[in-house]
A and B are shown apart, each in its own frame.
Chain A
Amino acid sequence: MLTDVGFTDATVGPALDTFGGAHGELNARAFDVNGHAFLAHKPLCAG
């Protein structure tokens, strides 16, 4: 979706076990949910 909007050079950081040990851990494990950092740029030539 980032690239659909026009962002470029998208980077995704490593998975973090955000919910480990929390009450939501069971649901997180069921759907393999992890936290990530994301980075993307709006091109200089964008209007």
Chain B
Amino acid sequence: MSNDVVFDAEALRAEVRDKYREVAVHPHGEFHFHTGRPLAARLGYDPSIVDALPDRAVESFAGVANPFSLRRLQPGELVVDVGSGAGFDSFVAAAQVGPKGRVVGVDMTTEMLAKSRATAELLALDHVEFCDGLAERLPVADGWADVVISNGVFNLCADKRAVFDEAWRVLRPGGVLQFADIANGNPVPPEAIAQIDLWTG
């Protein structure tokens, strides 16, 4: 989507928050996208990791591709998950980096944060934490991360340049940005871009 079309960025953020609140609370509801274990299988996630996770860690997963498909995380890496939702990708990351690594998931939706934190506690994962924050203003120190991951989030942000600048800021020199998102092969007309409900469904 282009940044050149005028629309209400705050309204977009509110719409996104409402949509993903629903995914957190009613993960088996009807959405325009797939969710949960069927989606993880469709996107090629490692079944040995997914199968080991409880349903509550997977059921609200609503990613668009697999951010681990081009590079597996290395043991000990420090990872930021931008738009961590109910925590599925953070839990996959936690399994890959192991107990000497650390994963910080950041999300703006209260219900998603509550769910991911409760799941981390259930799994006794003390190298994973979830923080309230926006993709454009991550609550992470400059240069802290070895890796920034994300899944299906950047396309929902109005100011994509700000999001990529923020990923750059939190990465150390030599760090890696590995994310999943959608791309459109056909141009989207300006009137469609200005239609907020098309962004989220």
Contacts and interface: CB of A to CB of B under 8 A. Distances in A.
Interface stretch (B77-85, B92-100, B173-181): B173-181
Contacts of A18: 33-34, 42-43, 64-65, 182
Contacts of A23: 30-33, 201
Interface string B168-201: 1001111111111111111110000000001001
A19 B32 CA distance: 8
B35 to A, nearest CB: 9
Interface residues of B, number: 44
Contact of A1 (B160, B172, B173): B160
Interface string A18-45: 1101111001001111111111111111
Interface stretch (B4-12, B20-28, B67-75, B105-113): B67-75
A26 to B, nearest CB: 9
B144 to A, nearest CB: 12
Contacts, number: 125
Contacts of B137: none
Contacts of B43: 16, 18, 35
Contacts of A32: 184-186
Contacts of B172: 42
B174 A31 contact: no
Contact of A47 (B34, B173, B186): B173
B174 A41 contact: yes
Contacts of A6: 168
B168 to A, nearest CB: 5
A43 B198 CA distance: 36
Given A24-B33, A24-B201, A45-B173, A38 B184 contact: no
A37 B184 CA distance: 14
Interface of A: 1-2, 4-7, 11, 13, 15-16, 18-19, 21-24, 27, 30-47
5 contacts: A4-B161, A16-B66, A34-B182, A38-B180, A44-B173
